């Protein structure tokens, strides 16, 4: 059983649902990014998604695109993110999912990446633009090192493809709440709930819902039908409004307002 699977078992045993924050590695720069990740862990985040900055993040909206650019401008690359995770693991055992596009991972080499990921304590990898046979090959490589391939599904995914995606997935399945790119939203949508119900026919894995989850009400709504809620753009927006001196404090204040049980982020760092 993988670390991520054990985490979801702990969540279920506690009679609650999961909270998964996303931030871009190296935003606004690598040292502050490490402190933000540690603060997220200190709040009680169940799993942290850490993005690899990429120059063409086509699935991401403007907020996360800008975070990628800030990280790239500060000199962050895949190796720097891996170094960050190694330092993070010295202080926290919160599961980490590396979130990336295919191109930087292919350039680095999947066999090499899987070996390093297992060594430094990465628990899963999400490749946004890997599909079908490509995803199946990546899954085999990761599974050989006891790493999970976290797979994306969307409201536009057909039942035939849902089955293929779920067959390759492990750890949990990431259900995109809407068609389009990432970004905070204010309206409530039934598309995600319908998607989760469809996916349950093809997998027993936990299902997390993300893309546009930005308010307490939206999180509570997701918890009604899914196993975890993913919050990304709303947290990244707080980092964007901050500088290296107050980013950790501001992220903590935002999380305190979002979900009181995740109060006092950063106070233990």
Which residues participate in catalysis according to the annotation?
49, 60
Distance CA 199, CA 159 (A): 8
Residue 64 CB partners (closer than 8 Å, separation 6+): 24, 51, 57, 182, 183, 232, 233, 236
């Amino acid at each position: 059983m993988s670390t991520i699977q054990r985490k979801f078992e702990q969540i279920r045993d506690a009679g609650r649902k999961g909270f998964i924050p996303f931030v871009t590695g190296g935003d606004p720069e690598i040292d502050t990014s490490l402190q933000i990740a540690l603060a997220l862990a200190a709040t009680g985040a169940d799993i942290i998604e850490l993005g690899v900055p990429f120059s063409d993040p086509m699935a991401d909206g403007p907020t996360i695109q800008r975070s990628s650019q800030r990280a790239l401008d500060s000199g962050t690359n895949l190796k720097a993110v891996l170094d960050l995770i190694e330092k993070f693991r010295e202080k926290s055992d919160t599961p980490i999912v590396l979130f990336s596009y295919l191109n930087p991972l292919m350039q680095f080499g999947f066999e090499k990446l899987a070996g390093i990921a297992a060594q430094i304590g990465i628990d899963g990898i999400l490749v946004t633009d890997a599909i079908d046979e490509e995803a199946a090959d990546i899954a085999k490589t990761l599974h050989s090192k006891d790493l999970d391939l976290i797979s994306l599904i969307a409201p536009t995914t057909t039942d035939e493809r849902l089955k293929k995606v779920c067959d390759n997935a492990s750890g949990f399945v990431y259900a995109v709440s809407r068609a389009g790119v990432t970004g905070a939203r204010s309206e409530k949508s039934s598309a995600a709930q319908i998607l989760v119900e469809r996916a349950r026919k093809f997998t027993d894995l936990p299902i997390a819902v993300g893309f546009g989850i930005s308010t307490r009400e939206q999180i509570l709504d997701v918890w009604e039908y899914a196993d975890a809620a993913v919050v990304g753009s709303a947290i990244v927006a707080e980092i964007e409004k901050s500088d290296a001196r107050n980013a950790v404090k501001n992220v903590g204040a935002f999380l305190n307002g979002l979900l009181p049980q995740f109060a006092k982020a950063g106070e233990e760092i």
